[in-house]
Structure 1
Amino acid sequence: MSNSGKHDVIVIGAGISGLAAAKFLHEQGLDVLVLEARDRVGGRTYTLKESKTKYVDVGGSYIGPTQNRIIRLGKELGVGNYKVNEEEKSILLLKDKVRTFRGSLPSIHNPFLVMDYISNWRLFDELAKEIPLEAPWKCAHALEYDNLSVENWMDKNCWCSFTKEVTTMFVRLAFATEPRDLSFLYFLWYIKCGGGLLRFISTSNGGQERKMIGGSQLISQKIAERLGNRVLLSNPVNKIDQSKDDIIMVTVKSGEIYQASYVISAVPQAIIGRISFNPPLPALRNQLIQRMPMGSCIKTIMYYDTTWWRNLDYCGIALSDDIVGGTQDDTKPDGSYPAIMGFINGQRAREVCHLTKEERKERVVQYYCKAFNSEKALHPVDYIEHNWMEEEFSGGCYMGATPPGVLTSYGKVIHKPVDRVYFAGTETATAWSGYMEGAVQAGERAAREILHAVGKIKADKIWVDEPESKEIPALPFETSVVENMIPSIPGFLKFCTATTSVATAGILVYIYRDKIIDALK
């Protein structure tokens, strides 16, 4: 196929979202061309293949129940998956104090900590339920929530420093940013996007349950193989010109100009601003892309001779407020290439990004020695890292998130086409935004918008639910009666005040019972 002449659709970005869109349109008979700035496909999924590691994902890699689109796509493309190890105990390290636990949430014995921690996390789920996935800015309390950062909300509602510390750790690990920089409305919406708090944060039965055999970049590589020379690498787009009625002119860095009837932008919102538009982007769209920064993330993988942590009854999951916010066992499914993956995120990433690779490695192994309480952590056989803040065509990872005030002021344009330019990318998803699942949903939705524009489908077929995977079904989470009934600290104090008042009244009635009886005669 020649890439000269006019195409039906040009897709900008050969990550999972752009390639999912291109695949969908190609299968519907449209002439598609994909322009990718990098010298590889995959976007924020990136799999290195070396003799020392076989393969390793230094970008996005996790899938799980309810992520039915990426599961379907992986099955169709012949990409297998395996469960991440969670057989043994997990670790929580806060303020240099180590706690061990099994499951998604750590056990705590102080009753006031339990009340504050459990009730606040339960409240996140309750508040998230009221957020419309397709339009969080329409929530009844949208302005109230959006004007707060997560830190503001914690300052107003958390009684115990432990609750604040755990929530800060969670925000840093899940969003690669700090609570002060994240809108509380966006935070709640994101939890709902992930199917609720437990689904979102869990490994088993949650968003981090599985990885792909051979690496997640295989998804993009296999789609690109199907599309053949319709995918052009090393072609960053500089300009999109829609000034003519029937044609869009797309100019790349080399000066080459490609023509199409429609365009799909599948790059992060923060990167769109590098493209010159004629006519200029509408005001709110132009302002939005300046206000959706990418997360700060350095992904690390430490290799060892053995899975020594399993011998100590640790599964490899360690959550902390230290340099590495969260870890997972990254050993291959057959037990080969023992490794621990760790994320350095948010402020921690910014604090160490100026160090050399060897200096960061030393910081990480020292942390593992402390967290797992083992000198064996100090003797890795290999170390790999990828600093996503240095990625020219991503600007960070995992995704762009909105600071306070942005979602209600600008969010309504995130899905809105600009004339014949449509927008994909995981940030525009309404299910598992920030994950590979969100990338597929957004890409296929943008493709359907174009199919509707050309008269192939009706408007009610643009947003389509995905059937649940039979191979990876979502199981219900079991919570105890105590977890469901435990009050918040304010609720407990009100109860105590009420019961004390009743008891006091009862005592007074008993003391003055004769006088009361005489008065009633």
Structure 2
Amino acid sequence: MSAAKLLKANGLTPVVLEARDRVGGRTFTVRNRILRLAKEYGIETYKGKSHPFKGSFPPMWNPFILLDFNNLWRTMDEMGKERGPWRAPHAEEWDKMTMLQLFEKICWTSKVLHFAKLFVNVNVTSEPHEVSALWFLWYVKQCGGTMRIFSTTNGGQVCVWWRGSCGRLESDQRVHGRRAGRPGYCGSMVIEEEGAPISLTLDDTKPDGSVPAIMGFILARKCRKLSGLTKEERLKKICEIYSRVLGSEEALHPVHYEEKNWCEEEYSGGCYTAYFPGNLTQYGKVLREPVGRLYFAGTETATEWSGYMEGAVQAGERAAREEVPAIPFVTTFWERNLPSVGGLLKMMGVSAFLSVATVSGLVIYKKGLIPRS
């Protein structure tokens, strides 16, 4: 759609061929009756306000875990700085290595190793043993690094923490004027508990405070496991974990529930993005190359925020520019060859010197001060 928009702006008449019965690809908005039902049952809507942590991740008080966390993020960011990705000095080595193997080399504590695995789950909906270290390091880098990709404020994501079964709850976003029964937190959560169906949630309440909703993600191995349950069974498990994390019985009685299994989408086969399982060095360089008049776009072909809507727009516009290249500017001979001011003065100085030298030579020659040949 972004490519077609830019082509149209350049005077062409593009035709968009869509395989689905809707546009949008991996963006899909469900229109439902939730606001009408909320009003019918007298449920109050609310507005929220953010108060972020000073960092992207919750504070760690164990010094060894703190050191381990810091080393993990710093090492990943440093490794991601290598040029490439497929031209990186360690490209072949890292492409054959999975992120799980890399984490096992970097991480010293089980706590950090566990969270590192969740970091992959949340960002690319895959398991660490499934993705190439080279690709994932590049993926994080092109989203601005570990802090940027994982942040909600000034970044990409998240905010309420649930650690195992210890019941500790932290938040960098508190809700003011909340609806009754919600314990002062926004709907953004990272849930590390292995048995929890949801790993990540985002508050999907509309900007005007209408349609209060929590959007949760069932990721990677949990998606494969829970897809065998019924919709009602999944809903029950989700409500139970929300109730525990938020400390609210109200979460057990949702007004409305929608779910979307992206694995069942014929033309997507999953979400949010496609990953490279160790073949980026082989195929990465030709990912964006056109074949004749056939040009390729899509969020996976983006060079910034690949896997996101921003990347999809960038890739569409890049493909359109390949089809409609910029018209070159025509310059005159003088525009190409006129000297600079400094060059002109230099030329004038040399010319003046040559003129003076020539005149002096003629005078000397006429006076007979130098012999004639």
Task: Give the TM-score, by structure 2 length.
Answer: 0.75
Match of 2:228 among 341, 354, 357: 354
Amino acid aligned to 1:206: G
Matched with 1:292 is none
Write the deviation string for residues 389-411 of structure 1: whole angstroms up to 9, x where unpaired. Answer: 111121111110111x2101221
Match of 2:50 among 74, 83, 87: 87
- Mapped pair 1:417 → 2:369: no
Inter-partner Cα distance in structure 2 for 1:123 and 1:308: 44
Alignment of 1:385-404 (within 5 A): 385-403=259-277
Paired residue for 2:318? 445
Say which is worse superposed, 340-349 or 123-132, in terms of deviation. Answer: 123-132
- Which residue is equivalent to 1:495? none
Shift of 1:378: 0.8
SS in 2 for 1:314: coil
Structure 2 counterpart SS, 1:34: coil
1:207 to 147, 156, 162: 156
Aligned to 1:115: 67
One-letter code aligned to 1:355: L
Alpha-carbon deviation of 1:327? 0.8
Residues 28-59 of structure 1: per-residue CA shift (max 9 Å, x gap): 112311100111111111112223248xxxxx
Q: Work out the CA distance in 1 between the residues paired with 2:222 and 2:49.
A: 26
Tell me what 1:93 maps to.
Answer: none
Change (3 A) 1:113 1:330: same
CA contact 1:86–1:204 (8 Å) conserved in 2:
no
Q: What is the SS of the residue equivalent to 2:259? A: strand
Q: Name the CA distance, whole Å, in 2 between partners of 1:443 and 1:359.
A: 40
User: Which residue of the other structure, out of 307, 312, 323, is the alignment partner of 2:183?
Assistant: 312
Measured at CA, do residues 115 and 25 of structure 1 come closer, stay the same or move farther in structure 2, by a change above 3 Å?
same
Q: Quick one: distance in 1 between partners of 2:157 and 2:63?
A: 30
Report what 1:44 is aligned to: 26
Alpha-carbon distance in structure 2 between the residues aligned to 1:367 and 1:48: 23
User: What residue is the counterpart of 2:334 in the other structure?
Assistant: none
Contact kept? 2:34, 2:255, Cα under 8 Å: no
What's the offset of the Cα at 1:456? 3.9
Are the structure 2 counterparts of residues 189 and 447 from structure 1 closer, same or farther at C-alpha, using a change threshold of 3 Å? same
Distance 1:174 1:308 in 2: 32
Q: Which residue of 1 aligns with 2:94?
A: 145
Where does structure 2 lack aligned partners over 5 or more consecutive residues?
37-46, 159-177, 330-373
More strand by share: 1
- Label 1:364 to 1:161 Cα distance change in 2 as closer, same or farther (>3 A): same
Whole-Å separation in 2 of the counterparts to 1:435 and 1:319: 19
> Partner of 2:3: helix, strand, or coil?
helix
Asked if the contact 2:273–2:307 (Cα under 8 Å) also holds between the matched residues in 1, the reply is yes
Deviation at 1:208? Answer: 4.0
Residue identity matched to 1:170: F
Q: Specify the SS of the correspondent of 1:148.
A: coil
Given the superposition, is the C-alpha separation of residues 31 and 333 from structure 1 closer, same or farther in structure 2, using an over 3 Å criterion?
closer
- Three-state SS of the structure 2 residue aligned to 1:138 is coil
String of CA shifts for 1:273-310, please: whole Å, max 9, x gaps.
xxxxxxxxxxxxxxxxxxxxxxxxxxxxxxxxx7457x
**Secondary structure class of the residue paired with 2:295:** strand
Question: Distance between the aligned counterparts of 1:138 and 1:352, measured in 2?
Answer: 40
Deviation, structure 1 residue 457: 5.6
Following superposition, the deviation at residue 88 of structure 1 comes to 5.9
Q: How many residues align?
A: 297
1:85 to 1:116, Cα distance in 2 relative to 1, 3 A: farther
Counterparts of 1:114 and 1:85 in 2: how far apart (Å)? 31
Question: What is residue 105 of structure 1 aligned with on the other side?
Answer: 57
1:433 is aligned to: 306
| Per-residue deviation, residues 130-151 of structure 1 (Å, max 9, x unmatched) | 243xxx1001111121111110
Contact 1:113-1:162 within 8 A present in 2 as well: yes
2:81 to 93, 113, 129: 129
Match in the other structure for 2:142 = 193
- Shift in CA distance, 88/362, structure 1 to aligned 2, threshold 3 Å: farther
Give the C-alpha shift of residue 119 in structure 1: 1.2
User: CA 1:115/1:103 → structure 2, altered by over 3 Å: closer, same or farther?
Assistant: closer
Work out whether 1:365 is the aligned partner of 2:239.
Answer: yes
SS in 2 for 1:327: strand
The answer to whether the Cα contact below 8 Å between 2:135 and 2:280 also exists between their aligned partners in 1 is yes
Indicate the residue corresponding to 2:370 in structure 1: none
1:407 counterpart = 2:359: no
- Residues 319, 327 of structure 1: 8 Å contact kept: yes
Instruction: Work out whether residues 204 and 213 of structure 2, in 8 Å CA contact, stay in contact via their aligned partners in 1.
Output: yes
Q: Deviations over 1:183-236 (max 9, x none)?
A: 111111111111122111111111249xxxxxxxxxxxxxxxxxxxxxxxxxxx
Q: How does 1:179-328 map to 2 (within 5 A)?
A: 179-208=128-157, 307=179, 311-321=182-192, 322-328=196-202
- Residue 125 of structure 1: how far off its partner (Å): 1.3
Distance 1:363 1:173 in 2: 19
Change (3 A) 1:457 1:429: farther
Question: Cα deviations across residues 363-410 of structure 1 (Å, max 9, x unaligned)?
Answer: 10111122222222111111111111111121111110111x210122
Question: What residue identity is the alignment partner of 1:352?
Answer: L
The amino acid that maps onto 2:72 is: N
Displacement, 1:156? 1.4
Paired residue for 1:344?
218
Larger radius of gyration: 2
Contact 1:429–1:438 (8 Å) recurs in 2 = yes
Give the structure-1-normalised TM-score: 0.54
Which is bigger in relative contact order (C-alpha 8 A, separation at least 6)? Answer: 1
Q: Is the 8 A contact 2:35 2:210 kept in 1?
A: no
TM-aligned CA distance change 1:346 to 1:131, over 3 Å: farther
User: 1:158 aligned to 2:107?
Assistant: yes
SS at match of 1:342: strand
Q: Kindly report the root-mean-square deviation, in angstroms, between the aligned alpha carbons of the 2 structures.
A: 2.1
Contact 1:131 1:189 in 2 (8 A): no
